[in-house]
Structure formats: structure tokens, C-alpha cells
């Protein structure tokens, strides 16, 4: 293990949580753990910031309650183990954490503390919410996915070493977005003007080969489908630097979901709210309007699946989507025609047309909100 560098704020928060519980015990009270309720009933869309977040309802867990004692103990075990990871400057996956805790009651107890990972996962979320931090701050790794190219240099302080990552010098591969883009990861420079998020890796490769990011001075990101936590967080951090974020997906259930998850966050990650959501994001395509503007696309549409139509109908029922008349027009057009267009179809005439399409729509600011 590398020597710990600066002291992480998460360590202080975990110690305060422990000290509070010790105080409760010393005063003869039952130790308690309070966290925000993460059930659907407590998830709301925050008009002011434009993202999904948790409401005011909280949940309290106490040791001296037969129904809550085990879960309380498990929560403390998760917190304690994460503290150990932070002190050792070592990271674990949530599956690794589960295996560490499964028999952590000690040799004298031949009993499992956790039987399944489904027991430990929600407790990690509880801690994230209660301590107002992300699991990445607790040295827990998450699935990583997504690739970046552009005029951006990062300093990756990892395992006691510093590595400069120049996202303009990554060749055909690009820089792979890691799990944690906050701790030990600093922007050295960002010389781009905006961020383009492209749903599919195939299109990212097309635009990377065309040097689109260099010609248009953007940061070219593909989440490779649904954006990972690390990828959403990176997009949020770039938006914090006032870079406009433009999202480019298929016009179908999956593409819309990718966009709205980046923009407003998602139900599952509502507890991270604006740490991970980018309400400033705009949608460049594909849209049904493209069929009017680019005639050749009409021959290249494909049948919308039932899931696409169902999703469009659901979206029309969300007030934060339905208030945008552009989205209402778009979604109704898909429902009516039952056709959709993939971003790959833009290559139908010539491969380089993808870039031409994006340039034209950027120039005319043809975005959906």
C-alpha cells in the first residue's frame, strides 16, 4: 500500500459518525444511525436546480431494537471497513467489500454477518446519503466505462505516483474514464470550448478519426451506452467549468434515457442529485425533425420497438419533460410514426457526414432542451 497523501474528508466524517455513536452509548442511550429515505416516495424533481433529488423524509436505525439491531450492526461494519480502506489508501469493489464483511464477526462466531451482496449494497447508499459523500470518497470502486479525447490534461495521483494524462494524446483508444474522477484526480488544463457526449463508441471512433474534437475544440466523450457514475461525474465537473454539454444519441428509449440520466440524474442515483446531474445539458439529436432536414435519412429509419413507444409515453407524463413543448412534439412524432433513427444512419451517404451534421446543428443551435 502506498503511503496516504492528504487526509481525506471522508475519514473525518466517518470518525464523527463513530464518535456520535460512542457518545450515545456512554450517555446510556441506544446508538442510532440517521439517513435520508431513498424510497420512490421520497424522490422529487427539484425545479430550482433541475434534477432529481431526495425529499425531506428520513429513516433512523437504532441498535436497541430487535427489528433494527442486525441492520444497525451491518451499517456500522460497512462504515468501519471503509474507514480501514481509507486509512490503508486501498480501494475495493462493492463485491470485495461484501467478501471482506461476510465473516467479519470474528473467529469465535461461526455466523455470517452478510449472506448476500444485496444486503451490503443498500447500506453503502445509506452511508453515502448520511455522510453527504459519494462511495468513491469511501475508496469503493464502481464499474467504469466511457472514453474521452480532447484538449484536456489531468493529473492522476494514484498509488503514491503522479501520472499526467493528456487526453489529446491517446491515439485511437482515448482515455478510459475511471471510477473516481475526484479523489487524487485534478484538472491541469481544459482548453476546449464545449463537451460532446456521444452515445455509441462506434460513433466516437468515427469522430475521433475525423479529429472532430480537435477541429471543433470540444471534449469528446462516449459513455458507451448508459453513463457510469464516473462518466456522469466527469461531465458534471466539466459543466462546472462553464463548458456547454451537448448530448448526441439515438432517438429511442435507450438514447433518451441516457440523455435524461445525464441531465436530471436517475431514480437510482437521485440521492447523489446535482453531484452527478448536469441540468445544463442540451440534446442535439437524433430527432424526428432530422427527417425533414436530411432527406436521405427517411430511407434509413427503423421500426420503433414497443419499449420505445412506451418510454415516449412515460416521458410525456413527467412534468419536467412535458413542459418543454419541443420534447412533446418529438415524442409524439415517434409515437405516431413508430419509426426511429440511429445515429449510425448518418453514415449512410458518407462516413464523414456525422461531423457535418453535428457542425450544422451546432451552428444553428438546433437543440432540444
Comparing CA positions, the residue from 180, 150, 144 lying closest to residue 165 is 150
Compute the least distance from the CB of residue 184 to a second copy, in Å: 8
Query: Choosing from 45, 99, 103, 257, which is the catalytic residue?
Result: 99
Compute the least distance from the CB of residue 252 to a second copy, in Å: 14
Within residues 96-135, the interface with a second copy by CB under 8 A covers: 96, 99-100, 102-103
Alpha-carbon gap, residue 31 to 40, rounded angstroms:
27
Closer residue to a second copy (CB): 61 or 206:
206
Long-range contacts of 332-336 (CB under 8 A, 24+ apart): 333/288, 334/251, 334/252, 334/288, 334/304, 334/308, 334/309, 335/309
Alpha-carbon gap, residue 307 to 284, rounded angstroms:
22
Sequence length of the chain is: 369
Assess 158 for contact with a second copy (CB under 8 A). yes
Helices (H), ranges, the chain: 9-26, 66-88, 94-102, 117-130, 201-209, 212-215, 229-240, 253-264, 289-293, 306-317, 319-322, 325-337, 353-363
* Interface with a second copy (CB under 8 A), residue from 59, 156, 280, 293: 156
Please choose, out of 27-35, 157-165, 189-197, 247-255, the segment that lies near a second copy by the rule CB under 8 A: 157-165
Is 207:236 a contact under the CB 8 Å cutoff?
no
Interface pattern 18-57 for a second copy (x via CB under 8 A): ----------------------------------------
Is 182:9 a contact under the CB 8 Å cutoff?
no
Assess 136 for contact with a second copy (CB under 8 A). no
Closer residue to a second copy (CB): 179 or 264:
179
310: helix, strand or coil: helix
Compute the least distance from the CB of residue 306 to a second copy, in Å: 19
Assess 348 for contact with a second copy (CB under 8 A). yes
Specify whether 103 is catalytic: no
List, by residue number, the catalytic residues.
99
Contacts with a second copy, residue ranges (CB under 8 A): 1, 85, 88, 90-93, 95-96, 99-100, 102-103, 141, 143-144, 147, 156, 158-159, 161, 163, 165, 169-180, 185, 201-202, 205-206, 208-211, 299-300, 342, 344-345, 347-349, 351-352
Amino acid at each position: 500500500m502506498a503511503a496516504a497523501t492528504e487526509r481525506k474528508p471522508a475519514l473525518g466524517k466517518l470518525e464523527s459518525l463513530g464518535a456520535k455513536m460512542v457518545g450515545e452509548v456512554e450517555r446510556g442511550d441506544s446508538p442510532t444511525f440517521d439517513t435520508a429515505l431513498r424510497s420512490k416516495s421520497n424522490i422529487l424533481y427539484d425545479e430550482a436546480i433541475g434534477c432529481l433529488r431526495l425529499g425531506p423524509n428520513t429513516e433512523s436505525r437504532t441498535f436497541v431494537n430487535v427489528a433494527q439491531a442486525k441492520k444497525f450492526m451491518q451499517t456500522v461494519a460497512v462504515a468501519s471497513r471503509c474507514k480501514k480502506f481509507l486509512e490503508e489508501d486501498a480501494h475495493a469493489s462493492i463485491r470485495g467489500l461484501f467478501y471482506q464483511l461476510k465473516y467479519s464477526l470474528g473467529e469465535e462466531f461461526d455466523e455470517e454477518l452478510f449472506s448476500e451482496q444485496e444486503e451490503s449494497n443498500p447500506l453503502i447508499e445509506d452511508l453515502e446519503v448520511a455522510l453527504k459523500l459519494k462511495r468513491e470518497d469511501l475508496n469503493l470502486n464502481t464499474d467504469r466505462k466511457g472514453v474521452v479525447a480532447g484538449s484536456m490534461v489531468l493529473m492522476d495521483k494514484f498509488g503514491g505516483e503522479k501520472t499526467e494524462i493528456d487526453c489529446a494524446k491517446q491515439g485511437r483508444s482515448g482515455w478510459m474514464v475511471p471510477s473516481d474522477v475526484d479523489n487524487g484526480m485534478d484538472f491541469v488544463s481544459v482548453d476546449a470550448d464545449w463537451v460532446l457526449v456521444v452515445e455509441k463508441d462506434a460513433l466516437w471512433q468515427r469522430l475521433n478519426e475525423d479529429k472532430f474534437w480537435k477541429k471543433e475544440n470540444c471534449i469528446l466523450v462516449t459513455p458507451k451506452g448508459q453513463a457510469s457514475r464516473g462518466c456522469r461525474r466527469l461531465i458534471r465537473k466539466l459543466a462546472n467549468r462553464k463548458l456547454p454539454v451537448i448530448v448526441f444519441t439515438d432517438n429511442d428509449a435507450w438514447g433518451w434515457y441516457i440523455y435524461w440520466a445525464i441531465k436530471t440524474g436517475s431514480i437510482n442515483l437521485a440521492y447523489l442529485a446535482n453531484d452527478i446531474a448536469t441540468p445544463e445539458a442540451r440534446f442535439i439529436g437524433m430527432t424526428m425533425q432530422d427527417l425533414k432536414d436530411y432527406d436521405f435519412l427517411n430511407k434509413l429509419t427503423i421500426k420503433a420497438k414497443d419499449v420505445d413507444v412506451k418510454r415516449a409515453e412515460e416521458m410525456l407524463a413527467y412534468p419536467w419533460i412535458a413542459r418543454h413543448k419541443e420534447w412533446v412534439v418529438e415524442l409524439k412524432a415517434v409515437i405516431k410514426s413508430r419509426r426511429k433513427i440511429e445515429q449510425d444512419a448518418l453514415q449512410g451517404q458518407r462516413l464523414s457526414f456525422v461531423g457535418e451534421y453535428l457542425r450544422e446543428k451546432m451552428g444553428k443551435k438546433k437543440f432540444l432542451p
